[in-house]
Amino acid sequence: MQSRKKEIDEAISAGKTALATANSIISSMEDAEGYGTWDVFGGGLIADVLKHGAIDDAQEKIEVLQIQLRRFKTELVDVKIKGDISVGLDSFTKFADHFFDGLFMDLSVLDTIRESLDSVKDTHNQINRVLGKLETMLESTERQIDLCEKERKELILKAEI
C-alpha cells in the first residue's frame, strides 16, 4: 500500500510540474496572440519582434513540457493510468512571417498562434483531468492504508490479551 501511495505521489508531482509549465506556455502564447493582433493592425517591426519573442519563449517552454509530459506518462504507467498528452508548434510559419511580412502572412501566423494556444489549453485540461483521477486514487489509497493500520493495531491488541 505504501509503495502505491508513493507511486501516486510521484505521478501527482510530475503532473503538477507539467501543469505549471503548461500555464506558463499559455501565458506566453496569449502574449504572442496579443502581439500578433497588433501586428495585423499595423504594429510593424516592434509588434513582430515582440510576437516572435513570445513565440520563442513558448517554444522553449514547449520543449521542456514535452520532457515533463514523458516523465508524467512514465509515472502514470506506474499507477496504471493511460495518458497520451503532447503539444507542438510549427516553426516554418515563424520563418515565413519574417520573410513575407504582409497582412496575409500575419493573419496566418495569428491563426497558427491561436491553434497552438488551443492545443496547449487542451493539454492543460488533460493534465488537470488526470491529476483529478490521481488525487481520487491517492485519497482512496490513504483510506486503505489507514484501515490496514487500524486493523493491524487491533490484531496486536488481541494478540497481547
- 47-53: long-range pairs with CB below 8 Å, 24+: 48/97, 48/98, 48/101, 51/109, 51/113, 52/94, 52/97, 52/98
- Give the pLDDT score at 91: 40
Low-confidence ranges of the chain (pLDDT < 50): 87-101, 103-104
pLDDT, position 6 = 92
Predicted confidence at residue 89, as pLDDT, reads: 41
How far apart (Å, rounded) are the C-alpha atoms in residues 123 and 130? 11
Q: Which domain holds residue 133?
A: 2-160
Q: Which residue in this structure is represented by grid cell 508524467?
A: 72
pLDDT reported for residue 90: 43
Separation CA 100–CA 67 (nearest Å): 33
- Confidence (pTM): 0.75
| pLDDT value, residue 149 | 92
Looking at residue 103, its pLDDT comes to 44
C-alpha torsion angle, residues 8, 9, 15, 20 (rounded to 10): 160
CATH number of domain containing 140: 1.20.1330
Number of domains in the chain: 1
User: What is the reported pLDDT for 40?
Assistant: 80
Q: Which pLDDT score is estimated for 10?
A: 94
Per-residue confidence (pLDDT) for residue 50, from 0 to 100: 93
116-139 pLDDT, tens digit per residue, is: 888 889 889 999 999 999 999 999
CA torsion through residues 128, 131, 137, 141, sign: negative
Secondary structure of residue 52 in the 3-state scheme: helix
Report the pLDDT value the prediction gives residue 82, as an integer from 0 to 100: 62
